[in-house]
Amino acid sequence: MTADALRSRLQDLTGWSPRPATLLSQKASRSDGGLPLEELVLRGPRGPMPATLILPDRRRPCPAVLYCHAHGGDYRLGRREMMQGSRFLQAPGYGAALANAGFAALCVDMAGFGDRRDEGDENDMAKALFWRGESLFGHMLNDLGAAFGYLAQRADIDASRIFTLGLSMGAAHAYWLAALEPRVAGCAHLCMLADIAPLIEDGTHARHGFYLSVPGFLNLAEAGDVAGLIAPRPQFACHGGKDHLTPPAARDAALTRLRAAYANHDPALTCAIDPDAGHGETAPMRVAVLDFLARAAARGHHDFN
């Protein structure tokens, strides 16, 4: 199956039908570090999506990162992770670091998280959607696609340089969104990429949330194939060597598929494993992600080949 054919099949499987989110409300302020900050409410595919946008104090239009927040069992945190960080991230979050590096960064609450907790419990929402032949993961991807569309339409954003970034659940969202949306300029993801069949074989799949379940997915492809659809755009894939959620067999299988997809675009792919890290970001990971994004934004993906 060609990459375009697989992308189309995956779009059908996840109910991919993104339309740019529209702005419902906007409140401007300054971050603790004095950077421009906007608290937004966007109209997404199924209703309002609270969002936070941080901007650099530099000439516009600027490159941007659609930051995908993690799960972590912290349903209250949601998009606030981008500014505050979490127990899985280096402190503080990525927001100020990205803005200081010249990027705008947008994060939206996913359904059931942050200011969208009143939409329902994750398990309840996922089970109801399965009965309807849909998935919570697919709904989340469509919300992120709508957020991407909003960013791309802003006059102060360079639509050709919008990247995705996330850890754990956010990593799954980041690489799936980049795979389904060819306009995404590149992707950095941490502590997530692993093939699903090996996870099922050793029972690790049960430790991941309902958000990751896509009915029928294994009849089409594996996680490494999805990440491979980002080629030839720049991609940074990072793992912790002691991450219990990405055991070696599943991680290495996915990386083998990913590297095969980049066989003719090798400079565009960076794979890193911090041998002593678990399921969380380390200081070297933070440095590597910011370096990757800076190089990708400065060069453009064609210059990686």
pLDDT score recorded for residue 142: 97
Give the angle 226-293-13 at the CA atoms, nearest 5°: 20
CB atoms inside a 10 Å sphere around CB 60: 12
Residue type at position 37: L
pLDDT score recorded for residue 302: 46
**φ and ψ at 22, to 5 degrees?**
-110, 155
Taken in order 287, 293, 297, 302, the sign of the CA dihedral is positive
pLDDT score recorded for residue 304: 54
CATH of 3-304, one of 3.90.76.10, 3.40.50.300, 3.40.50.1820, 3.40.50.2000: 3.40.50.1820
Angstrom distance (rounded) from CA 244 to CA 7: 29
How many CA atoms lie within 13 Å of 102's alpha carbon, on the beta-carbon side?
15
Give the gyration radius of the chain's Cα atoms: 18
Sheet holding 104-108, edge to edge: 22-30, 36-44, 47-54, 104-108, 62-68, 157-167, 186-190, 235-240, 269-274
pLDDT score recorded for residue 117: 97
Q: What is the pLDDT along the chain (305 residues), one digit of tens a residue?
A: 899 999 999 999 999 998 999 999 999 988 888 899 999 999 999 999 999 999 998 777 999 999 999 998 899 999 999 999 999 998 899 999 999 999 999 999 999 999 999 999 999 999 999 999 999 999 999 999 999 999 999 999 999 999 999 999 999 999 999 999 999 999 999 999 999 999 999 978 867 777 788 999 999 999 999 999 999 999 999 999 999 999 999 999 999 999 999 998 989 999 999 999 999 999 999 999 999 999 999 975 445 54
In our burial notation (b when 16+ CB lie closer than 10 A, e otherwise), range 216-248 reads ebeeebbbbbbbbbbbbbbbbbbbbeebebbbe
pLDDT score recorded for residue 32: 80
pLDDT score recorded for residue 301: 44
Angstrom distance (rounded) from CA 81 to CA 184: 22
Q: Tell me the pTM.
A: 0.96
Domain coordinates in residue numbering, the chain: 3-304
pLDDT score recorded for residue 300: 58
